[in-house]
Structure 1
Amino acid sequence: MTDEYKGISGFFKRRQHPVKIIMYIARYIWLLLIPLAKYLIATRFDFQNWVKTNWVDILSLSVMIGYGILRWVFVYFEIEEDSIISHTGYFGIEKTQVYFSEMSSMSLCQGYIFRLLGACTVYIDTDARSIQNTDIRLDISQKQAFRIYELATAKCRSKPKYIYTSRKKSLFIFSLLFSSTLSGMLLTLTFIYQAYRIVGREIEEQFLARVNTELEKLTVHIPKYLIVAALVVAGSWLVSFLSNLLRHWGFSCTRCADLLMISSGKGTKRRHVIVRDRINFIDYQQSMFMKLFGICSVQVNCTGYGKRHLELSALVPITTTAMAENSVKQLLPGVPKVEYDVRTGWADLRRFVMLPMLVCLLPGVLYKVLCEVIPQFEMVVKTIPDWKSALTNLSVISMIPLVWLVLVKTNAAFNTAAGFGGGHCVLSYCKFYRFHRTAVRLDRISKIKISRNPFQRMNGTCNLSVYTSAERSSCHLVKGLNYERLINAMAKTGLYDEE
């Protein structure tokens, strides 16, 4: 296949898409491009005076563009029938070859702009755990990207397939009802940070000043902090809802041979190829509301899948628990049903809810401490109506997530368990506000740790930590299990030596 890379056409076939030149310098070019554009408009497009005044910035901009072109020339790739070779580094001296048979996952991502330009980003990861974020990342033409995809999935051309497709109507309804405000808030903060890096602090301050002006108009009868809190909650929920909908719209997962081929996305279109034997664990995730209504989503942990920006490692998007379990059986038939050997119950309820209930007392305790430390504080609060009203409202607002945490932990007391068998470790636990049911392959476990604090030694319980051999340290922490029963269950499977 080396003949196709000869001549001028071969030179361009081996290079990334020209849009990569802009990507190499995009992080810094805005620092010069925006001020230069302002000065050019201010001088009414008098290029001679503009060049005389800003020649240093123009020269710096030219150097940056030249740097981007040189990087584009020196970074190139070659496609073979069984592998892909990437030459990276400043002069293309770093060579990485990944055989399709050795990869763990591959992803093809296309946003709106890339689709218009005919470009596509290709990520290829292995279990080699290189110090880079991705073993191979290339921004190449759509034609070359699809060619790599066809070579990586060639074994599936004449094999039977099982296809799972999410129902768009159900996806819309479930996303509308069960979108997470917290995850939406994180996405919003990420967007604000990225915008700050691009437009700079000056424009951000102008935007915030305009927002504050608009809020002043609304705060005639309603305190500003209440409006801000309501807007944050509503806005975060809306961001979470839209991101879930756009990310999983048209989701389908195909099992063929030893591969899972996933495609999804309305805005940014994504295709993923996952090698089933390289999957570390599967994870059923639920919020409290989702658990009450029998709704869940299923994620899968595999090197490279779901680690990119704004990307989830979904195997089955949000749907009913029964449908999710049935789909997982079809997509991953090698995962056996394992019964729990140890689980918590009524006797453990007090240990689960005691700490959250104590946390609920924090607002009141904080008020008392301030009154004791600052004698004038209580007098000021009682004499100034606005302060008293504000503190009362803030206390109520802060109590809502704390009380909700008590309810979540109450539910967790009856949904915490661990089991071993069939070559898998199954865990059920609650992490913050989210419930997890995880099935981890025993050969993918890097370490199992049993810890006990003095109080747990007295009541005969312990914490179980299961670490998986993923590219990033992944720990599943199950709290409050009966120590003796856990040790016996692990000893039967050969995971614990009683000596």
Structure 2
Amino acid sequence: MSHGDASLPPEHRLHPWSWLFVLLQQLRQFVVPLLALLVAGRRDTGPWEYAGYASFIGVAVLVAISILQYFTYRYRIGRDGISVRTGLLRRDLRQIPYARIHNVVLHQGLLHRLFGVAEVRLEAAGGQKPEAQMRVLGLDRALELEQAVRDRGAAPLPAEATAPARCDPPLLALSTAEVVRLGLVSNRGMIVFAAGLGLVWQVFPEKAVAGLLQDWFRGAMGYAGALHLGWLAMAAGVLAFAAAFVLVLRLLSVVLALVQYHGFRLVEHQGRLTVERGLLARVRTSVAPRRIQAWHLEETLLHRWFGRRSLRIDTAVGGQENDPRRLRELAPIAPPETCDALLRYLVPQLQWPPQWKPLPRRAWWRLFAANVPWNLLLAAVLCWHFGAWGLLVLAWLPWSAYAARRQAGWMGYAVDARLVAVRGGWWSRWWRMAEVDKIQALRLQRSPLDRWLGTASLLLDTAGAGAMAPPLRIRFLPEAEARALQARLARMLAARRLRW
């Protein structure tokens, strides 16, 4: 079929300023070698004399590549999918069916918002890279593309008709006060602190940083010694410093939460869940509820103090695990009843909370026994360095036993015709659940200790599970109960696949 066939929908270009954003993206990747060449080019002797010219030539090449991509990139919104045509000498035509697109991400950084454009990513399940990444489209074109994916090939709406998704009442909207609470209960300040420490360590020589820290510590200790403070005053000073450090981390967490989650809105529109958030950079991402593989509720001690929980999801969508634009949170923070209501609304016929079945009472000592060897090893190392004072570490064992009993008392699982759920933790509680249809594999695990005690653990695999999320695992069951549960779930999975 020819390019000019009138029966085909028209092709679209990227935004005229797209070459600038592509150039900035490439410069971020090559900024270190270009700066090295530029600095080396200041030398007037030797082979470094022409290094500065090489850096300018490199920038000129990147500009040419960025402009060339604008003139050679085309996309078409068709009835059954989206086609993308790229390349000048080597032409590449990629057809992306709507059924393959599992997630649509619209990203607007501060520069994007100034130019009225957005970066669009079309993501599919399982891939590490998006099916298509468009840098950049006008905001009206980006919304039109998102609408076409929602409609699954229906005629795209005009630009003025694409924004009414905001008219739908939100399932959840976070106020500024809620975002501040999110910052207070999270540890995002440690991310800023670690990033700043890493930057200082990279920019300055390691010996200089280590020497500065040593000088600061010696100065502080010398000042404290000059004041002739007793051990009680020294302990109070250390506690005050620790409290000030925690306060600064919490303030950083609040700032980062405001930057990332300001204006958070969760909306359901035409069968897709859409989340929009961000203060400086706006991220708009959507996913169909049927692509959700597992649900994860979390409630730390600070959450309970504020009467809040968090609701996260696993989706069968490719991409990097730590990509901040990936849809992972449906409710970053909300009252427990709001999280429960969201679960019941998004998973019809779900009986939540379910009837939990506790683990055997003797499971607590399995949790306690796992910590004992590490405690003894630490005590031995400290005794070798500090003598008998190292035995004070063993005072942790009674608390560890108490925590293990409380944790085992909270652990439980629930299985019905639609849902498999587990819960765990104690100080920080969590719930993890998945629909039976979304289970990918069942595994019965038995360690040497399990074989000796006649127990087993059942591990249920789902797609898209995050590395930091607790596994969907039922632990320390009697072997007969674990095998019977595995057989029951296997029959349920087989019956559903036969109906499909």
TM-score, normalization by structure 1: 0.74
One-letter amino acid matched to 1:448:
L
Give CA-to-partner distance per residue, 1:351-407, whole Å, 9 cap, x none: 222333553444422122447xxxxxx5xxx9xxxxx9xx99xx88x999x998766
Distance 1:470 1:259, change over 3 A: same
Equivalent residue, structure 2, for 1:189: 194
Q: What is the alpha-carbon root mean square deviation over aligned residues?
A: 4.5
Equivalent residue, structure 1, for 2:108: 110
One-letter amino acid matched to 1:26:
R
Q: Please show how residues 22-421 of structure 1 align to structure 2 within 5 Å.
A: 22-33=24-35, 36=38, 54-67=49-62, 69-70=64-65, 73-74=68-69, 76-82=73-79, 83-87=81-85, 93-127=91-125, 129-130=126-127, 132-143=128-139, 144-154=141-151, 161=168, 163-168=170-175, 170-172=177-179, 174-180=181-187, 184-186=189-191, 188-190=193-195, 193=198, 195=199, 201-202=203-204, 217-219=219-221, 220-221=223-224, 233-290=246-303, 294-304=307-317, 307-310=321-324, 313-333=328-348, 335-337=350-352, 339-340=354-355, 342-344=357-359, 346-370=361-385, 409-421=404-416
Q: CA deviation at 1:33?
A: 3.2
Q: CA deviation at 1:272?
A: 1.1
C-alpha contact 1:15 1:72 (8 A) present in aligned 2: no
Q: CA deviation at 1:234?
A: 4.9
My pick for the range that moved more, 469-478 or 69-78, is 469-478
CA distance in 2, matches of 1:467, 1:214: 50
Matched positions, count = 458
My pick for the range that moved more, 168-177 or 106-115, is 168-177
CA distance in 1, matches of 2:305, 2:403: 11
Equivalent residue, structure 2, for 1:385: none
Distance 1:341 1:491, change over 3 A: farther
C-alpha contact 2:364 2:405 (8 A) present in aligned 1: yes
Distance 1:476 1:215, change over 3 A: same
Q: CA deviation at 1:20?
A: 0.9
CA distance in 2, matches of 1:178, 1:126: 33
C-alpha contact 2:266 2:276 (8 A) present in aligned 1: yes
Distance 1:216 1:68, change over 3 A: farther
| DSSP-derived class of the 1:486 partner | helix
C-alpha contact 2:317 2:464 (8 A) present in aligned 1: no
Equivalent residue, structure 2, for 1:20: 22
One-letter amino acid matched to 1:452:
R
Equivalent residue, structure 1, for 2:472: 476
Give CA-to-partner distance per residue, 1:295-315, whole Å, 9 cap, x none: 310001113489453456111
CA distance in 2, matches of 1:100, 1:233: 48
C-alpha contact 1:342 1:486 (8 A) present in aligned 2: no
Q: CA deviation at 1:134?
A: 2.2
Equivalent residue, structure 1, for 2:230: none
Alignment gaps of 5+ in structure 1 = 44-48, 372-377, 383-387
| DSSP-derived class of the 1:479 partner | strand
C-alpha contact 2:314 2:466 (8 A) present in aligned 1: no
CA distance in 2, matches of 1:288, 1:255: 31
CA distance in 1, matches of 2:166, 2:117: 30
One-letter amino acid matched to 1:140:
V
C-alpha contact 2:37 2:55 (8 A) present in aligned 1: no
Distance 1:466 1:160, change over 3 A: farther
Distance 1:489 1:39, change over 3 A: closer
C-alpha contact 1:336 1:422 (8 A) present in aligned 2: no
Distance 1:13 1:161, change over 3 A: closer
CA distance in 1, matches of 2:256, 2:383: 42
Distance 1:102 1:321, change over 3 A: same
Q: CA deviation at 1:23?
A: 1.1
C-alpha contact 1:296 1:318 (8 A) present in aligned 2: yes
Give CA-to-partner distance per residue, 1:408-461, whole Å, 9 cap, x none: 544321222222223322122349x75331221222222111212232234443
Distance 1:333 1:408, change over 3 A: farther
One-letter amino acid matched to 1:309:
D
CA distance in 2, matches of 1:165, 1:136: 29
C-alpha contact 1:344 1:481 (8 A) present in aligned 2: yes
| 2:450 counterpart of 1:456 | yes
| 2:465 counterpart of 1:465 | no
One-letter amino acid matched to 1:418:
Y
Distance 1:408 1:23, change over 3 A: farther
Distance 1:96 1:228, change over 3 A: farther
Alignment gaps of 5+ in structure 2 = 1-5, 153-161, 225-233, 494-500
One-letter amino acid matched to 1:136:
A
One-letter amino acid matched to 2:461:
Y
Q: CA deviation at 1:27?
A: 2.2
Distance 1:479 1:460, change over 3 A: same
TM-score, normalization by structure 2: 0.74
C-alpha contact 2:15 2:138 (8 A) present in aligned 1: no
One-letter amino acid matched to 1:145:
A
Distance 1:209 1:149, change over 3 A: farther
Distance 1:416 1:32, change over 3 A: same
Distance 1:408 1:31, change over 3 A: farther
| DSSP-derived class of the 1:413 partner | helix
